[in-house]
Amino acid sequence: MDYPAFYRVKQRFDVTSIKDVAQAVRHEFANFKPGPKIRAGQRVAVGVGSRGTHDLKILVATVVECLRAMPLQPYIIPAMGSHGAATAEGQVQVLAELGITEESVKAPIVSNMDVVSLGRIESGAEVFFAKDALAADHIVVINRVKPHTAFRADVESGLCKILAVGCGRQKGAENMHKYDLGKTIIPAARLIMQKTSILCGLAVTENAFGGTHSIKLAGPEEFAGVDRRFLKIAWSLLPKLPMDDLDILLVDEMGKNVSGAGMDPNVIGFWRREGGPRIPDYRILIVLDLTPHSHGNATGIGMADLTTHRVIDQIDWNATYMNVFTSGVLRSARMPIPLENDRAAVEAALARVPVPAKARMARIVNTGELVTFWASEALLPELRANANVTVDNQPLELRFNADGRLTPMGNGESF
């Protein structure tokens, strides 16, 4: 079979970022006025999620530093719903892989899956909250604000969501996902604020390179407003591929550290997860690997059309099903067709194109790394016409090793 030639492509995105993230956090705390609600020596539970946040260790360590200066006694709690296979040990391991340990942030980590019901909101949703957070005098949360992978609203992933879903552990997250998240997150967060002492929340946005773009330390009354404002910023920064029409999208890896959905539907097409218009229309999607940080959780594999036996062999079905049942998006665990190896998967996809050498095809590392990707020759005219794209002139080939595994594409010329 004749494979298409590929070319390295680099996109230009907004690279604005905060140079000294720790100092920016200290500045936010210096301007924060908690009032008479705090007393020296009080304990503060700091909720930390599992979503990919580039500067998470710096953010958490500096928040701990600032709380100690107040002077309060902070400790870390996982605020990640069912992630880490919905076990206390698994969630501590997730934090450790994100760089959050007792040694790195200089605060104890307390983890268990116990929750307490705080009541119901108007929709009927029961709101659960982490028992180890309620043991503290106050609660602080840290979260990246970004578009969600399963719903659209003016408040999506952010401070309100980590309260309503992340701090609800597996039981609370599963219950919240039974309802319309876009309509329940804010009421649930408000109920939590009424029943607990939320001291503040640190919201951040990131640019396409993972740099911290914006930081805001918000009081609880500001959570929804900051979430709305930062979500608009996050949408403007969200990296995507610069073409909406592909025969084949080849994804080197998927995983929970890439996106909560394994692959970000905002990149590959929301229709693959939730239905709707096929925009962008990537007609065949191949996924070739599962990241080690996923620990076998292959939530989102159902959005692929083709995969390999290697991916299937890595899947921890218990962890995957726990995540899927918690989110309620059961189709996330549907099975794509597994082929013997990468070569078989690529050739099966190309066989669906009338002239394989002229296929409109792109290769990406994962949906979170889109600054550089590789595009087939058929895409070059439109890419070269795009002012925000630079195309290398050196053609590259798809190469496979003796086991049929696709090798790294190579860098081509320097831009």
pLDDT digits (tens, 9 = 90+) for 184-220: 999 999 999 999 999 999 999 999 888 999 999 999 9
What pLDDT sits at residue 414?
44
| Structure confidence at residue 411 (pLDDT) | 58
List phi, psi (to 5°) of 376.
-75, 165
CA-to-CA dists, residue 162 to 50, 174, 333, 414, angstroms: 10, 14, 24, 41
pLDDT tens sequence for the chain (415 residues): 899 999 999 999 998 999 999 999 999 999 999 988 899 999 999 999 987 789 999 999 999 999 999 999 999 999 999 888 889 999 999 999 999 999 999 999 999 999 999 999 999 999 999 999 999 999 999 999 999 888 889 999 999 999 999 999 999 999 999 998 999 999 999 999 999 999 999 999 999 888 999 999 999 999 999 999 999 999 999 999 999 999 999 999 999 989 989 999 999 999 998 888 999 999 999 999 999 989 999 999 999 999 999 999 999 999 999 999 988 889 999 999 999 999 999 999 999 999 999 999 999 999 999 999 999 999 999 999 999 999 999 999 999 999 999 999 865 544 4
Q: What sign does the CA torsion over 73, 74, 77, 79 have?
A: positive
- Name the burial class of residue 1, with classes exposed (0-12), middle (13-18) and buried (19+) by CB atoms within 10 angstroms of its CB: exposed
Write down the pLDDT at residue 257: 87
> What is the structure's pLDDT at 85?
83
**Which distant-in-sequence residues (6+ apart) come within 8 Å of 294 by Cβ?**
254, 255, 256, 257, 262
Q: In Å, what is the CA distance from 300 to each residue of 197, 251, 256? A: 36, 13, 9
How much is the pLDDT for 415? 45
- Reported pTM: 0.87
Three-state SS at 375 = strand
Are 256 and 237 a contacting pair, CB within 8 Å?
A: no
CA dist 252 and 290 (Å) reads 9
What is the per-residue pLDDT across 49-64, written as a single tens digit (0 to 9) for each? 987 789 999 999 999 9
As given in the structure block, the two tokens for residue 9 are 């492509």
